[in-house]
């Protein structure tokens, strides 16, 4: 242990004697580690970490597959009310199914009127997602009827427009010149669909339920335990084929499919994030190569010193420990600075691309990936003859 402490002290003195080398190597490592840690933290939060709800692996979104001849290049299509109700009644693969429509309401009051993008949801919507309100409750089945004026607020609307009033539940607010009773407030991270600032009951009429040719609705479902995606899609295909025979005028050529909810939610940013991750991983490899070259050049410049030490009786292990102590110090200092840059860079990237990132993503510095990236550059620099790392640590 005394030998290692002496080697580290020797390494510090050596770096102080070569400030240009030390500063260059530390900055290169810091940029490579900082960029990778920041981007991987975003990728981890958006693509790898499960949705913030109970048993998210069983949540799927349901879509029609439209006739290829009628809708070329469009792989997925929204649902119609009557077809969804038939899927709900006949499917054996889903524990819960819920349909979601879009709309808008104008919030009146003392302040400037505000147009609220609103989701119209079935009573099963919140139970399918297994999400509980922060305040109050969600909708009951009795409230899913025309003329039912109740509303659930998003956390952002509750905070920005109502000042996080803890007593908002039970109060009335004015929407489209009508009084709506606030029955609940949802948690901060719950924003689904992504446009929704509030939720109201779907409240279909009998006429709405009979519409089969107008496709304007999203649908979510929760798979039954033990049912996989392949079985669910086979179930939807069978029901769609049956509906095609019963209603050929509206359903001829229309199929059905289920897609994991998280996959669908991140589909718009998945490719961009993976490309960005690949780019910064390449930057890290370049940083490793540059540091390895700097260490190699510095070691070659010390050939005379190493030869003298060897002649005086120093072992190869002792000389290698000296070289290793310098590279460990470079890795530690570069890694620490890289984490600092990652923290600043992560906040800047999140603010810059906030509107493109899904609202459920809890983006924070990922310490596991940070430690992996911190330690990885020490491998190529630990010995002048060592090779570059084979890949990006995940």
Q: Which of 337, 339, 328 minimizes the C-alpha distance to 379? A: 328
User: Is the bond into 112 cis (omega within 30 degrees of 0)?
Assistant: no
Q: Is residue 159 over pLDDT 90?
A: yes
Q: What is the pLDDT of residues 289-332, one digit of tens each?
A: 888 888 888 777 777 776 777 777 766 766 677 777 778 888 88
Residue 153 near residue 133 (C-beta atoms within 8 A): no
Residue 103 DSSP SS3: strand
Task: Classify burial at 261, counting beta carbons within 10 Å of its beta carbon; exposed 0-12, middle 13-18, buried 19 or more.
Answer: buried
User: Is the entire prediction scored with pTM above 0.75?
Assistant: no
Strands (E), 11-149: 59-65, 94-107, 114-121, 135-136
Question: Do 334 and 33 form a contact (C-beta atoms < 8 A)?
Answer: yes
pLDDT tens per residue across span 73-91: 888 999 999 999 999 999 9
Could you count the other beta carbons within 10 Å of the beta carbon of residue 79?
Answer: 23
Residue owning tokens 């930057």: 283
For residues 161 and 108, what is the distance between their CA atoms, to the nearest angstrom?
11
User: For the stretch 209-247, what's the b/e string if a residue is b when 16 or more beta carbons lie within 10 angstroms of its beta carbon?
Assistant: eebbeebebbbbbbbeeebebeebbebbeebbeebeeeb
pLDDT digits (tens, 9 = 90+) for 226-270: 999 999 999 999 999 999 999 998 989 999 999 998 887 777 777
Say if residue 391's pLDDT is above 50: no
- What does the block give as tokens for 331? 């890795």
Q: Is pLDDT above 50 for 379?
A: no
Residue range 277-289, pLDDT digits in tens: 888 889 888 888 8
Q: How many CA atoms lie within 13 A of 129 on its CB side?
A: 27
In sequence order, what are the residues at sequence separation of 6 or more whose Cβ sits closer than 8 angstroms to the Cβ of residue 172?
Answer: 179, 180, 181, 182
With a CB cutoff of 8 Å and minimum separation 6, the contacts of 377 are 29, 32, 33, 284, 287, 288, 291, 331, 334, 335
Tell me the per-residue pLDDT of 344-363, one tens digit each, with 9 for 90 and over: 888 887 777 767 777 666 67
Alpha-helical runs (H) found in 44-162? 81-90, 124-129, 155-162
């Amino acid at each position: 242990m005394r030998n290692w402490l002496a080697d580290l002290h020797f390494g510090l003195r050596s770096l102080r004697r070569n400030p240009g080398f030390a500063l260059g190597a530390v900055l290169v490592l810091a940029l490579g580690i900082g960029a990778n840690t920041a981007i991987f933290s975003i990728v981890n939060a958006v693509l790898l970490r499960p949705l913030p709800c109970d048993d998210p692996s069983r949540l799927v979104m349901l879509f029609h597959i439209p006739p290829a001849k009628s809708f070329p290049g469009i792989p997925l299509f929204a649902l119609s009310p009557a077809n969804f109700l038939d899927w709900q009644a006949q499917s054996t693969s889903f524990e819960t199914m819920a349909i979601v429509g879009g709309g808008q309401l104008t919030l009146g009051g003392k302040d400037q009127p505000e147009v609220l993008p609103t989701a119209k949801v079935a009573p099963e919507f919140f139970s399918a997602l297994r999400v509980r309100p922060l305040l109050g409750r969600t909708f009951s089945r009795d409230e899913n009827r025309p003329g039912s004026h109740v509303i659930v607020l998003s956390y952002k609307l509750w905070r920005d427009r109502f000042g996080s009033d803890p007593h908002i539940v039970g109060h009335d607010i004015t929407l489209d010149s009508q009084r709506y009773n606030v029955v609940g407030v949802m948690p901060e991270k719950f924003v689904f669909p992504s446009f929704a600032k509030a939720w109201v009951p779907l409240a279909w009429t009998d006429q709405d339920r009979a519409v089969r040719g107008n496709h304007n609705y999203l649908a979510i479902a929760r798979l039954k335990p033990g049912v996989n995606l392949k079985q669910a899609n086979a179930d939807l295909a069978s029901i769609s084929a049956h509906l095609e025979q019963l209603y050929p005028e509206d359903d001829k050529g229309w199929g059905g499919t289920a897609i994991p909810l998280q996959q669908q939610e991140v589909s718009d940013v998945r490719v961009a994030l993976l490309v960005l991750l690949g780019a910064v991983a390449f930057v890290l490899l370049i940083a490793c190569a540059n540091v390895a070259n700097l260490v190699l050049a510095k070691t070659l410049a010390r050939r005379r010193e190493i030869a003298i030490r060897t002649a005086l009786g120093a072992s190869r292990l002792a000389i290698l420990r000296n070289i290793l102590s310098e590279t460990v110090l470079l890795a530690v200092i570069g890694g620490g600075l890289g984490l600092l840059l990652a923290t600043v860079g992560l906040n800047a990237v999140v603010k810059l691309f906030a509107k493109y990132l899904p609202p459920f993503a809890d983006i924070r510095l990922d310490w596991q990936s940070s430690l992996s990236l911190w330690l990885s550059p020490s491998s190529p620099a630990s010995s002048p003859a060592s090779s570059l790392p084979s890949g990006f640590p995940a």
